[in-house]
Amino acid sequence: MRIHSLNIGEPQSMTRNGKTVTTSMNRTPVAEPTQLEILGFVGDKAANGKVHGGPDKAVCCYPMEHYPYFREKLAAPLDIPAFGENLTTEGLFESEVCIGDVFQIGRATVQISQPRQPCGTLALRNGNPELPKWVNEKLYTGFYFRVLKPGIVRVHDAVKLIERPNAGATVETLSIAMLNKQTPRGQIEQWVALPELSQSWRETFTQRLG
């Protein structure tokens, strides 16, 4: 497991099909060592703090292994980081990594907090309104890290698993529960009880419980 690409950026205006949005989706790869702080990488900033960023979503990650599938679906080159991720990863899959997993990356320590949910800006960025649906269908969502210990991170740094408190609570499993409104109440209660789950996902699941 390692970092394939480290990508940062600041909010920019993007216009597609006559629609203009302000987004940080147009991140670019950087080669130099970059400091990772509690709220994310130095030099990186989310455009909409109410939806993106914050301590629970400091780092957006996306597996490089999903790129060939979407290149074929979109019939486009789809250069990294087409999904707007901060870290393009190798060897970390939604079906395997779990909420609460703690990793050492360079000198930083991070923890998985929630799956990523694809949004309309992702579709706009890549010129296809079907893209978010395809992401959810394949459960190729990516995921977020919170930062437990700041530190320098470099491209090609190893990603070392150092703790797994919730074996079975995979990113894929949580995504299925979020997407399926018929998920059994007992499962939702189980996910709400995870202390490592992000506040926003806990609140959404709690509302579903009524």
pTM value surpassing 0.85: yes
Structural domains of the chain, ranges and CATH numbers in brackets: 2-209 (2.40.33.20)
Per-residue pLDDT of the chain (210 residues; tens, 9 = 90+): 999 999 999 877 777 667 777 777 889 999 999 999 999 999 998 866 666 679 999 999 999 999 999 999 999 999 999 999 999 999 999 999 999 999 999 999 999 999 999 988 898 888 899 999 999 999 999 999 999 999 999 999 999 999 999 999 999 999 999 999 999 999 999 999 999 999 999 999 999 998
Q: What one-character-per-residue DSSP string does 132-193 give?
A: HHHHHHHT---EEEEEEE-EEE-TT-BEEEEE-SSTT-BHHHHHHHHH-TT--HHHHHHHHT
Instruction: Evaluate whether 99 touches 114 at the Cβ level (below 8 Å).
Output: yes
Nearest to 150 by CA among 55, 37, 32: 37
How far the first Cα of the chain sits from its last, in Å, is 40
Burial class (CB in 10 A: 0-12, 13-18, 19+), 167: exposed
Local structure of 120: helix, strand or coil: helix
Q: For helices 185-192 and 171-179, give the axis angle rounded to 10 degrees.
A: 130
